[in-house]
Amino acid sequence: MSEEAEVMMERGAAEELFARGRAELGKVICGQVELIDQALLTLLCGGHALIEGVPGVAKTLTVKTLARFLGLDFKRVQGTPDMMPADILGTSVFSLKTNEFAFHRGPVFTQFLLADEVNRMPPRTQAALLESMEERQVTMDGERHALDDFFTVFATQNPLEFEGTYPLPEAQLDRFLLKIQVGYPSAEEERAVLERHHAAVDAHPEQTPIEPVGMAEMAAARREVRDVHVEPAMFDYLLAVARRTREWPAISLGASPRAAAGLLMVAKGYAAKDGRDYLIPDDVKEAALPCLRHRLILKPEVELEGFDPDRVIRDVLAATPLPK
């Protein structure tokens, strides 16, 4: 048995995948460990992620590098106000040779799709993309076209820009498993970025060689996430957190049943990441912020006081009794 295989058996497929992901993506990206971990969690949990951050913090580069690390097909669409659903899904084109319509597949037919500045797409195009995310299929002229099992959407948006944008409505935000917030790197990480740019002026980050993982490792990691054991008391705790958001005085719209199911899946992902095959309350606490922050609507007076969803979620977690 090879040394790598022994490590995989000792650490577990999911734990090893996260360790290798940090190491390989670290060759290209300085810092942003939370972004890398949550992007991997999105894939292992079979969901999609909304990535929010100001320009220039490596959102797009991280997703493109992650696709290379996982060995998955990658396509990118740039959101613009004039984008039509056909620009993403594809369209039927009449062939003069065959006198028939042929379906030309759009960029959605891939494994990794990056929807840059999704809030610049008009509502009709947003809806077409999110329908593909939910159903993992495209219906064109009455014919269904299945998408890949690993089909994953990473949509980015700039939180500071509002002109010429179409904010995603709450019902569509609920389709994203995670909302990943990307901040500025630390001073040490930003210095490392400058040093890398200085050392390789003519090199492009996307040309940095990285060692991809195989489909077998990804499939094994997904199975580990699904097989994480959940005690009845943990179901009660997770449900108490979700239901408490619906009764919290600062929240006008709490977590939906879909959000509760997503919270369970992401919490299991955190357990597998840490090398455990059972769920603990800390897993739920770690999963709560990225899984719930985009699904809650705060009351206007609460927002005027400077509260944000993350702060309210922390208050909810602090007020929810731990399982015994």
Domain ranges in the chain with CATH number 3.40.50.300: 13-198
Pinpoint the alpha helices (H) of 26-169: 33-44, 59-70, 86-89, 123-135
pLDDT digits (tens, 9 = 90+) for 135-190: 888 887 778 888 988 899 999 988 776 676 888 888 788 889 999 999 888 888 88
Q: What is the DSSP string of 179-230?
A: EEE--PPPHHHHHHHHHHHHHTSS--GGGS---PPPHHHHHHHHHHHHT-B-
Q: Output the pTM of the full model.
A: 0.88
Q: How far apart are CA 263 and CA 62, in angstroms?
A: 24
- pLDDT at 6 exceeding the cut of 60: no
For residue 106, give the nearest of 85, 89, 118 by alpha carbon: 89
254's CB contacts (< 8 A; 6+ apart) are: 242, 243, 244, 245, 246, 247, 248, 296
pLDDT digits (tens, 9 = 90+) for 64-87: 999 999 988 999 999 999 999 889
What's the confidence (pLDDT) of residue 5? 45
The full length of the chain comes to 324
Residue that has been written with the tokens 């039927």 in this structure: 92
Domain ranges in the chain with CATH number 1.10.8.80: 228-319
Q: Which of the listed CATH numbers 3.90.420.10, 3.40.50.2300, 3.40.250.10, 1.10.8.80 matches domain 228-319?
A: 1.10.8.80
Measure CA of the first residue to CA of the last residue in the chain; give whole Å. Answer: 42
Calculate mean pLDDT across residues 35-57.
92
Calculate mean pLDDT across residues 15-40.
91
pLDDT band at 262 (very low <50, low <70, confident <90, very high): very high
Q: How far apart are CA 185 and CA 192, in angstroms?
A: 10
CB 77 within 8 A of CB 107: yes
Assigned CATH for 13-198: 3.40.50.300
